[in-house]
Amino acid sequence: MAKDKTPPDTLPDNVADCHKMIRELFSRIAELEKQLSRRNRALFGKKSAKVDSTLLTGTGKAIHFQTSAELESEKKHLEILDDKKHGGGRTDSTLLPERTIEHRIAQKEMPCPCCGERREMIGFETSSQIEYVGTFFENLKHVQFKYSCKKCQGQIVLAQKPYQPIDKGKVGPGLLAKIVHDKFVVHLPLYRQEKIFLSQNIPINRSSMCRWMKEAADLLEPIANKIQKLILNSKVIQSDATKLPVIKKGAGKTHNATVWSFVGDKNAPYIYFDFSETEHGIYPEQILSGYKNILQTDGTNKYNEIIRQGAIQVNCWAHVHCKFEDAWKEDAIAAEFPMGVIKSLFDIERVAAQLTTIEKISGRDLLNPN
188 in any annotated domain: yes
How many CA atoms are closer than 13 Å to the CA of 89, on its beta-carbon side?
A: 2
146: left (phi over 0), alpha (psi -120 to 50) or beta: beta
Q: Using only C-alpha atoms, what is the Rg of the chain? A: 32
Same domain for 256 and 294, yes or no, is yes
Q: Which residues pair with 262 in a beta bridge?
A: 239, 272
Q: Where are the beta strands (DSSP E) in the chain?
A: 146-149, 154-158, 236-247, 254-263, 271-276, 294-296, 312-314
Distance CA 202, CA 217 (A): 24
| 8 Å CB contact between 118 and 108 | no
282 in any annotated domain: yes
Here the CATH number for the domain that contains residue 280 is 3.30.420.10
Q: Which residues pair with 146 in a beta bridge?
A: 158
31 in any annotated domain: no
Distance CA 54, CA 64 (A): 10
Q: Which domain holds residue 273?
A: 235-315
Same domain for 243 and 283, yes or no, is yes
141 in any annotated domain: no
300 in any annotated domain: yes
366 in any annotated domain: no
Same domain for 195 and 264, yes or no, is no
What torsion do the CA atoms of 153, 159, 164, 170 make, to the nearest 10 degrees? -80
Q: Are strands 254-263 and 236-247 parallel, antiparallel or unpaired?
A: antiparallel
Per-residue pLDDT of the chain (370 residues; tens, 9 = 90+): 445 555 656 788 888 888 888 999 998 998 888 778 767 766 665 555 566 666 677 777 787 778 888 888 877 777 676 655 444 444 555 677 888 888 888 998 889 888 888 888 888 888 887 877 777 788 888 899 988 888 887 788 889 888 888 888 889 899 999 999 999 888 899 999 999 999 988 899 999 999 999 999 999 999 999 999 999 999 999 999 988 888 777 777 888 899 999 999 989 999 999 999 888 889 999 999 999 999 999 888 899 999 999 999 998 888 888 888 777 777 777 888 888 888 888 888 888 888 777 777 665 444 444 4
Distance CA 15, CA 10 (A): 14
Same domain for 209 and 192, yes or no, is yes
Q: How many CB atoms lie within 10 A of CB 80?
A: 15
| 8 Å CB contact between 354 and 326 | no
Whether the full predicted model's pTM is greater than 0.95, yes or no, is: no
CA distances (Å), 77 to each of 26, 70, 71, 72, 298, in order?
55, 11, 10, 9, 35
183 in any annotated domain: yes
Same domain for 257 and 303, yes or no, is yes
Same domain for 221 and 261, yes or no, is no
Last residue within a domain, chosen from 211, 233, 255 = 233
Domain count for the chain, please give it. 2
